[in-house]
Every structure is written in structure tokens, then in C-alpha cells.
Amino acid sequence: MANLIDGKKIAAKVREELKSRIDKLKKKGITPGLGVVLVGDDPASISYVTGKERACAELGMFSRETRLPAEITQEELLALIASMNEDPQLHGILVQLPLPRHIDEQKIIMAIDPKKDVDGFHPVNAGKMLLGQDCYLPCTPNGILKLLEESGVETGGAEVVVLGRSNIVGKPVANLLFRKANPGNSTVTICHTATRDLKAHTLRADILIVAAGRARTVTGDMVKEGAVVIDVGVNRIPDDSKKRGYRLEGDVDFSSVSEKASLITPVPGGVGPMTITMLLFNTVAAAEKSV
């Protein structure tokens, strides 16, 4: 039976380390500031943004949320971002995705000053990451690396299989794990919807990272004995027995996979807490660079 990788516990440790850095900045008259833009009223996005604001408050950071109607024009949103780029009180800017269909997400991401791109999505930061240069790393992939590091997982020379090729998780986490660094220095395979014989790939994995976007994509028979499994997925499954009318499940069939794995992240409580924590980490780093 697998041991759980406790994302909440590891996130709390990282946040505790951030407190001393924030205190040092405040002694210099600087309070790390995060500007969050939420367009529309998607429940999942609202919940996520609320969690980010609560985390900022707990660490004594400044946060400013701007909620906009779904009907806002792209030009109006770009104008807001331009003003945030110039605001010295904001060291980091986050535009919550997804955006309404009439807005070009890439244009919005491009409009954010790379020095304030604490999500790590701007092509400047993505390119620097690919080249191994100093930059803001995407929050979820960086959080995954931290989970592996804090759990004592040896990544050097390990066979890593990543399910999913999104710009947010799959591509960057694969890049970070094959770079010559620690954690990293792994042999990485990326699998996706066109992969033939997915099971043959997943059975080779010493470390399996699942960001497929579909519940129970990976089952116990697809995982080798002793593998480390990182479940990035968050799926709402209708469940009348729950007060909210649904339960959260990952992309991994937890009950069967946990029988084979040595370590596994739960959903919720695994990768999720790390994503928000690494956003705070990037914002504090941005504030430090502004000194």
C-alpha cells in the first residue's frame, strides 16, 4: 500500500520559509503584492482565486482582486493589464484562466510584463525555462518538483512518464525533469491522446505524472510495483451523498493504483496546495528582484 505525499504539509513548510523572506522585505518598506484578475463567474475559478487571496492574507502579503463581467472586451482587459504592469504595489500579475471565448488568451498572457508573470506562462519565461535560465517557473510543475524533492524521491536517471502535453503542466514538467539539475536529470517520455499502447509506457515509469484531464485514466494494472505516482487531475464527479452534490477525483484510480505504488498524491490535498504555494513563492521572488 502506497504512502501518501502530503501536499498540505509540504506547502505549509514552504510557506513558513517564505515568512522570513517577507519579513525582510517589509523591513525595507516592501510588501509583496499580487494582482489577480477574474473574468466571469466560473465556480472553480472563483474558488481557486479565493484560495490564493486567503493564502496571501495568511502570509501578510498584499493582494488585489479585480472581478470583471464575462462580457468585457479584450481591449478593456488589455488596458487593465497595462495599468497593472505600471503599478509598483503589484509585483506579480495573474489572470485566471480560462477566459471567455471572445478573448485571445495568448494576447492576454503576452501583455503581462514578464517581470510580473508569476504564473510563468509568458513566452519569455517559457523560453528561459527551456534554456535553463533564471525565470519564474510555472506553479504546478514547480510544485510537483518540490513534492518529489521533499519526499526524497531520486529523480536522477529515473524513468519518468508524463501523461498530458498541456502548456500548463505536461510540457513544462517534462522539461524541468530532463534538465541537468536536481530534481531532474531524468529520462522523460510524454504520452498523449495519440499514444499507442499507453499501458506499455506507464508500466516502465519509476515516476508517473498524470495530467490527462479525465478521471481514472490510470488504473492499477497500468502501474509497476513501487512507482511514484503524482496525480495532477481534479475532476468533479456527481455524488448525491455529498453536501455539494459532487466529489473530487483525480486522473488516477486511487484505490487500485495505491495498491501498487510506493508513493502517491491524494486528490484533494496533493498537488493542489503546492500550486498556490509556488505562486506565492514566485511573487515573493518578484518583490525581492524589485529592490
The residue from 52, 146, 171, 260 that is catalytic is: 52
Residue 185: per-residue pLDDT = 98
pLDDT tens, residue by residue, 163-185: 999 999 999 999 999 999 999 99
134 counts as catalytic:
no
Q: Which 8-state DSSP code applies to residue 263?
A: E
How far, in whole angstroms, is CA 47 from its chain's centroid?
Answer: 15
119 counts as catalytic:
yes
Three-state SS letters, 95-136: ECCCCCCCCCHHHHHHHCCHHHCCCCCCHHHHHHHHHCCCCC
Please check whether the domain covering 30-113 is classified as CATH 3.40.50.10860.
yes
Residue 46: per-residue pLDDT = 84
The residue from 119, 206, 251, 253 that is catalytic is: 119
- Map out the domains of the chain as residue ranges: 30-113, 139-272
Indicate the angle between helix axes 7-27 and 139-150, nearest 10 degrees.
110
| pLDDT band, residue 119 (cuts 50/70/90) | very high
pLDDT tens, residue by residue, 136-147: 999 999 999 999
The residue from 13, 28, 42, 96 that is catalytic is: 96
Bridging pattern class, strands 263-264 and 62-68: unpaired
Query: Is the Cβ–Cβ distance between 139 and 147 less than 8 Å?
Result: no
C-alpha span between 204 and 189 (Å, rounded): 10
How far, in whole angstroms, is CA 96 from its chain's centroid?
Answer: 12
Please check whether the domain covering 139-272 is classified as CATH 3.40.50.720.
yes
C-alpha span between 275 and 141 (Å, rounded): 8
96 counts as catalytic:
yes
Residue 43 has pLDDT above 90, yes or no: no
C-alpha span between 286 and 116 (Å, rounded): 7
pLDDT tens, residue by residue, 46-89: 888 888 889 999 999 999 999 999 999 999 999 999 999 999 99
In the predicted model, what is the mean pLDDT of the chain? 96
Same fold, 30-113 and 139-272: yes
| pLDDT band, residue 33 (cuts 50/70/90) | very high
User: Percentage of residues in the chain with pLDDT exceeding 90?
Assistant: 91
